[in-house]
Structure 1
Amino acid sequence: MKKAILLLNMGGPNNLDEVKVFLKNMFNDKRIISAPKLIRKLIAFIIIKSRLKEARNNYKQLGGKSPIIGYTKELVNILNNELDADIFYVMRYTPPFAKDVLPNIKDYDKVYAIPLYPHYSTTTTASSFDDLFIEAKKYKMENKIQTVHKYYSNENYNKAIVQRIKEALKDKNPNEYELVFSAHGLTQKIIDNGDIYQKNIKQNVYYARKELAKQGINFHKTHLAYQSRVGPMQWIKPYLEDKLASLKLKKVIIYPIAFTIDNSETEFELDVEYKELAYELGFKEYIVAKAPNILMSEVIKDLYNKMGT
């Protein structure tokens, strides 16, 4: 039996020319901006015009592309050597898209679609599945595809989180630090419309805290906050900048709990922009832990084995 695993993610520019492609595809996604198509196009145009120059400059500082590409390729290479399935990655807003990958696997017997989003959201998981199944129907292969919607409670996943936190701590005493789980924000409107992302994030924090306690890692305090706000609308709170301002200890570890793979939000927004803010607020230490990245191999293997039984 010929099997494929598709790792789904939002993507990121492969080069500076793709920054506009990335922004255009993201802000024209009806799952991101739910306005009628023409209004959505206008909103997208305005956002792109105001953000393109800054976004390109940010990616330039990251080497001219999103770090998500390299980390994803590393993960794919590891899994290709360890599983009895062919591994592909499919991005939502930059190549390779579902339309690029599915023609190569249309004759496979079974396809396992695993989002690299551990928490379910209409803006991420549902959007990726929308795109995937639109393309799958063209090849009459939608019935071959098996999906998983969320896995924030997976033991291997939470062990990976704690492993990255331990690596960030090194030999430091966790009692001298506060730990902030930083999640990508969503507008309050999306949550009020029934999106379960915030509930999943809070539940993930519970499981991560449980694993920290199990391994005897005790921070002074642990917190949850949200990053990546855009525009004037109200977003879910607390905002990361407000959380940082409220911390009593001026030593902090930031863990990017919404991400399984490092990207511009972790390596630029958290590790450059928020770091500058933290030092302005008088922090003595501000450390950003890595996302799981290649540690996701154990999580994917576990999910694949469970999906196949």
Structure 2
Amino acid sequence: MAYFTYTPPRNPVPLEGRVGILLVNLGTPDNTGYLAVRRYLKEFLSDRRVIEAPPIIWQPILQAAVLSRRPFESGANYARIWDRQENASPLLVYTRRQAEKLAERFRAEGVPVTYGMRYGNPSIKSAVEELMDRGCDRIVTIPLYPQYSATTTATANDQLFRTLMRLRRQPSITTVPSFPDHPLFIKALETSVRETLAGLSFKPQRLVASYHGLPKSCVEQGDSYQDECARTTRALVRALGLRSEQVPMTFQSRFGPMEWLQPYTAPFVQALPSQGITRIAVIMPGFMADCIETLDEIGNELREEFMEAGGEEFAIVPCLNDSNGAIDLLEDLARRHMAGFRAR
């Protein structure tokens, strides 16, 4: 039997269309007013990936109880951290900057970059339409969640696929998986920690790693989130040359009466002064951009609770935001997944 070796043409025919990059983040209200916050919370809390209770049970509670008062509380919280200059939430500001800086890395290659939000504006649908209008028939989508969860990565992909379902001619899509211990992610976290600690007037006795919480039942049903958070924490501990007990892992942002992953951040931190731990720093490695959960829940509320419990010094390590380390990571993720498109 004869075998033939394929030799690519010396001057291959260029591919039609182009590759585009789409960053996807959680989302934010358009402003801090009641109606804007209510619209955002309604969309967010109606997601079956987020609230798995049957709609016939959950929706009456959401409409009658949650959405009648929580928008006022959340709006006040957003107002404390709102970027007045940009007139937007920090999450939107930093996600936009990430897209802009990543676009600079790909400008010479003619690869467009944009961003969309799972909830609120700009929508994933509008982002896909923007890339298609710019001639993209292939899209690399990067959900900005370092650790996988059905409540984050999966629902972002769900929304992307719902957009594709309504298109006559779909672009080809590749979705980037989570990256809990990607070397560039850990390097960026390490750099952020070292730079933050170098600027403090005190040496923290603990570096608390606080991740967004998740109902325990989600993990029991197969969600890999808790394991991936542990992978991030272990890798960061190694990079910093610390002992595991110096970087305890906790979970914040509980909602509802069910049991969530433990230990819970607030009670854990409040108990530290009674153990002689009065100087701490907190890092939130589950967030690629600072947002209400990092700046207000941790930066304001947890700080106050720690100090009232007898704490003396408290600092937060900023999220990666639009740092060089963050853009290095996103560029690497994008290039690795663009390679498959270019090989066709």
TM-score (norm 2): 0.84
Per mean C-alpha deviation after superposition, the further-off stretch among 188-197 and 137-146 is 137-146
Give, in whole Å, the separation in 1 of the partners of 2:192 and 2:162: 36
Q: How far has the Cα of 1:139 moved from its partner?
A: 1.8
- Are 1:259 and 2:287 an aligned pair? yes
Matches within 5 A, 1:111-190: 111-140=139-168, 144-171=172-199, 176-190=204-218
Residues 210-246 of structure 1: CA distance to partner in whole angstroms, max 9, x if unpaired? 1112xxx679811101111112211110011222134
Aligned to 1:235: 260
TM-score (norm 1): 0.93
- Are 1:72 and 2:91 an aligned pair? no
Change in 2 beyond 3 A, CA 1:47/1:257:
same
Change in 2 beyond 3 A, CA 1:37/1:176:
closer
Give, in whole Å, the separation in 1 of the partners of 2:103 and 2:201: 38
Per mean C-alpha deviation after superposition, the further-off stretch among 181-190 and 17-26 is 17-26
- The alignment partner of 2:119 has SS state of coil
Q: Mind listing any 5+ residue stretches in structure 1 that lack a counterpart?
A: none
Q: Is the 8 A contact 1:250 1:284 kept in 2?
A: yes
Greater Rg by CA:
2
Per mean C-alpha deviation after superposition, the further-off stretch among 89-98 and 243-252 is 243-252
Give, in whole Å, the separation in 1 of the partners of 2:328 and 2:169: 27
Per mean C-alpha deviation after superposition, the further-off stretch among 82-91 and 141-150 is 141-150
Q: RMSD in angstroms over aligned alpha carbons?
A: 2.0
Aligned to 2:3: none
1:108 to 117, 133, 136: 136
Q: Is the 8 A contact 1:91 1:97 kept in 2?
A: yes
Aligned to 1:96: 122
- Are 1:4 and 2:23 an aligned pair? no
Count, aligned residues = 306
Q: How far has the Cα of 1:254 moved from its partner?
A: 0.1
Per mean C-alpha deviation after superposition, the further-off stretch among 256-265 and 246-255 is 246-255
The share of aligned pairs that are identical, in percent, is 29
Q: Is the 8 A contact 1:179 1:219 kept in 2?
A: no
Give, in whole Å, the separation in 1 of the partners of 2:201 and 2:80: 32
Q: Is the 8 A contact 2:215 2:258 kept in 1?
A: yes
Give, in whole Å, the separation in 2 of the partners of 1:260 and 1:268: 16
Give, in whole Å, the separation in 2 of the partners of 1:191 and 1:141: 37
Per mean C-alpha deviation after superposition, the further-off stretch among 117-126 and 239-248 is 239-248
Give, in whole Å, the separation in 2 of the partners of 1:195 and 1:220: 25
Q: Is the 8 A contact 1:21 1:93 kept in 2?
A: no
Matched letter for residue 25 of structure 1? E
Q: How far has the Cα of 1:66 moved from its partner?
A: 2.1
- The alignment partner of 1:279 has SS state of helix
